[in-house]
Structure 1
Amino acid sequence: MTKEILKQYTDLQQECDEVREKISTLEQQIIKIEQEGTVLDKVSGGVGGLETFVIEGFPYPEYNRKKALLYSRKATLCELELELLETINKVEAFIADINDSHMRRIIRLRFIDGLSWADVARRVGGNTEDSVKKMFYRFLEN
């Protein structure tokens, strides 16, 4: 286990959050389209293009595009969550195999709980941000 898999885990968490946010935005846009119902538009035409017509209708192309994108993003989220679950199992197994409880806490706080190095140092106590970071990198080198 290297720091790359730990970084991958953190990135996967953030990627899942970003996709969830995009899904939420799309769902809100779809609800808005459904609530507004029909839309109005004016077009020119007729003899010589001088007449103005008002067209009213439901925006099916936009609605269908957003629905398709929503389903696609939900599928992407499912795949990412499966990958995240596999990665967290690897990370948890790695952490469980560490003999030093201090280092287990540091790694768990930093990568599982997503705390900054400064917050990790405060939680474990008696350390600075730099000292906790150095302990972690030295641990990985060994």
Structure 2
Amino acid sequence: MKKTLRQYNSLIQEIKELNEEIEKMKNKKYSYEKDSVTGSNAEFPYQAMNYNIEGIVPVDTTVKESMLTKRLNKCEELKIDIERFISDIPDSLTRRVFRYRYIEGLEWRPIARRIGRHDESYPRKMIHDRYLERIKPMR
């Protein structure tokens, strides 16, 4: 569970990046392409020649867009699961410690200060770790 909780801030960033990439794909309908091909003169002497070709080509982004949308949905589901887990913690102090640590991304020392303690090991060991140990057998 700890590993899942640690992903929260990364999930927020990934969701933002995926939304931006999907938006770019929606705006990109055509691409400009260049290439060179080899051919020959139509009449004798049939000399080999290189020709440059260029043009606008429609871009089919449906497959990649679908893949990105699926990944976005998975990230959002996991983010909601983490938020639901923290929200379902019955004890207010424990819920605050988890929110500060995973949603706000604070280190242990600022968390200890916010809950009125000076020892950073108190929120980590006495609240956080004990809560995870109690729920582990249930999961």
The interval holding the TM-score normalised by the smaller chain is: 0.5 to 0.7
The structure 1 segments of at least 4 consecutive aligned residues displaced by more than 6 Å after TM superposition are none
Give unpaired runs (5+ residues) of structure 1: none
More helix by share: 1
More strand by share: 2
**Structure with greater contact order relative to length (CA < 8 Å, sep ≥ 6):** 1
| CA spacing shift, 1:25–1:53, aligned 2, 3 Å | same
Higher-Rg member (1/2): 2
| Corresponding residue pairs, total | 129
SS at match of 1:127: coil
Computed over aligned residues only, the root mean square deviation of the Cα atoms, in angstroms, reads: 3.2
Given candidates 14, 19, 39, the residue that maps to 1:18 is: 14
Contact 1:41 1:56 in 2 (8 A): yes
Given candidates 59, 82, 85, the residue that maps to 2:80 is: 85
Post-superposition offset of 1:91: 2.5
TM-score by length of 1: 0.64
TM-score by length of 2: 0.65
Residue identity (%):
26
For residues 86 and 140 of structure 1, the distance between their equivalents in structure 2, rounded to whole angstroms, comes to: 16
Contact 1:27 1:70 in 2 (8 A): no
Which one-letter code corresponds to 1:113 in the other structure? E
Q: 2:104: which partner in 1?
A: 113
For residues 47 and 5 of structure 2, the distance between their equivalents in structure 1, rounded to whole angstroms, comes to: 60
